[in-house]
């Protein structure tokens, strides 16, 4: 694994980046001013779980911070990958499907669709015009470092010029929402630049 650079940001927190990768923008949910008990904004076509709304809201905030309003310019969107990183995936949807099966109840058709963790990518990619590779994986270690590692591989292989990295976790407790962070990353020759620190 390649060496990383760590820099200290506000409140003594640190952020990491892979050599040769520039973090262009970052978006999170929740952030200051969000109504955390209410959860992220609802997302049409997704029910029961906040996993996909979390991912979509963080991604939208990140992309708006860099591009303004959707869609992105076609020459950039065609070469922007989307990488979804989650340790547990959509735990709430999985639990709802399991409970319905055990109880002998019909399972809502939408739950089958959204049980795939990257189902929300189609919503975000369509809205913003992102047509690069789509990847979803579950890391063993630090999510952000794993996502940046994967972005570096995409850049080195010529698969993408930019990557939207969406790190999302549902809360295990019922009635509690999780959190999500999205980063827009791009290759940078000759060093590490981190423009946005972790909040």
For residue 39, CA distances in Å to 30, 55, 148, 170, 196 come to: 8, 12, 27, 11, 24
pLDDT band at 6 (very low <50, low <70, confident <90, very high): very low
Q: Which residue has the higher pLDDT, 125 or 199?
A: 125
Q: Which residue has the higher pLDDT, 91 or 124?
A: 124
Q: What is the pLDDT of residues 124-152, one digit of tens each?
A: 999 999 999 999 998 988 999 999 999 99
Q: Which of 5-9, 23-27, 31-35 has the highest mean pLDDT?
A: 23-27
Q: Answer for the pair 51, 167: CB distance below 8 angstroms, yes or no.
A: no
Categorise residue 175: left if φ over 0, alpha if ψ from -120 to 50, beta otherwise.
left
So what's the pLDDT on residue 14? 35
E strands, 45-120, are: 80-85
Q: pTM of the full predicted structure?
A: 0.77
3-state class (DSSP) for residue 55:
helix
Kindly tell me if the per-residue pLDDT of 75 is higher than 50.
yes
Kindly tell me if the per-residue pLDDT of 193 is higher than 70.
no
């Amino acid at each position: 694994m390649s060496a990383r650079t760590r820099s200290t940001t506000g409140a003594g927190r640190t952020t990491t980046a892979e050599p040769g990768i520039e973090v262009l923008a970052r978006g999170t949910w929740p952030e200051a001013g969000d109504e955390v008990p209410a959860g992220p904004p609802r997302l049409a076509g997704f029910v029961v779980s906040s996993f996909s709304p979390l991912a979509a809201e963080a991604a939208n905030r990140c992309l708006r911070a860099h591009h303004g309003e959707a869609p992105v310019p076609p020459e950039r969107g065609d070469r922007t990958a989307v990488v979804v990183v989650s340790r547990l995936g959509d735990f709430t949807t999985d639990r709802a499907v399991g409970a319905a099966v055990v109880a002998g109840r019909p399972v809502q058709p939408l739950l089958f669709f959204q049980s795939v963790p990257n189902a929300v990518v189609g919503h975000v990619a369509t809205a913003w015009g992102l047509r690069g590779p789509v990847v979803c994986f579950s890391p063993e270690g630090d999510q952000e470092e794993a996502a940046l590692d994967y972005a570096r591989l995409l850049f080195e292989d010529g698969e993408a010029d930019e990557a939207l990295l969406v790190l999302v976790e549902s809360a295990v407790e019922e009635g509690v929402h999780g959190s999500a962070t999205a980063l827009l990353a791009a290759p940078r020759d000759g060093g590490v630049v981190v423009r946005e620190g972790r909040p």
